[in-house]
């Protein structure tokens, strides 16, 4: 059974930093890529960053230069380092992992999300 669990969210002031972590059991980040998404109240879920199985990374324009996605294949975790946080980064952040889902747009497995709140 696959399980994906995020951690590391919290409350931080504008300009601060947080590091989110995604731990998976039942799948390997060495075999599949991963991505982070976020959803703010009243908005649709949006893609934030992706890490391909080969190591290539991509970022949404809104976080480019501030966020960094990485993985630890020994611990089987994927992290999202978030720097220079802004109030508009406030959202629930979700880890998306495993093989591609039926739609082909996202991966098959989602975590429960972790709340990030940036105060002004």
Per-residue pLDDT, 2: 95
Per-residue pLDDT, 29: 95
Sequence-separated (6 or more) residues with CB below 8 Å from residue 78: 21, 22, 24, 29, 34, 36, 51, 69, 70, 71, 72, 95, 97
Q: Between residues 49 and 101, which one has the greater pLDDT?
A: 49
Per-residue pLDDT, 113: 98
Distance of CA 52 to the CA centre of its chain: 13
pLDDT tens, residue by residue, 7-44 = 999 999 999 999 999 999 999 999 999 999 999 999 99
Per-residue pLDDT, 22: 98
Q: Using the predicted structure, report yes or no on whether residue 102 has a pLDDT greater than 90.
A: no
């Amino acid at each position: 059974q696959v399980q994906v669990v995020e951690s590391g969210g919290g409350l931080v002031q504008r300009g601060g930093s947080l590091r989110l972590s995604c731990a998976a059991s039942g799948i390997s980040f060495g075999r599949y890529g991963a991505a982070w998404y976020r959803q703010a109240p009243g908005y649709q879920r949006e893609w934030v960053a992706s890490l391909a199985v080969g190591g290539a990374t991509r970022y949404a324009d809104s976080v480019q230069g501030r966020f960094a996605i990485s993985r630890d294949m020994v611990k089987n975790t994927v992290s999202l380092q978030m720097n220079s946080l802004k109030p508009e980064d406030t959202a629930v952040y979700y880890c998306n992992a495993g093989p591609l889902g039926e739609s082909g747009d996202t991966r098959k497995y989602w975590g429960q999300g972790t709340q990030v709140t940036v105060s002004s």
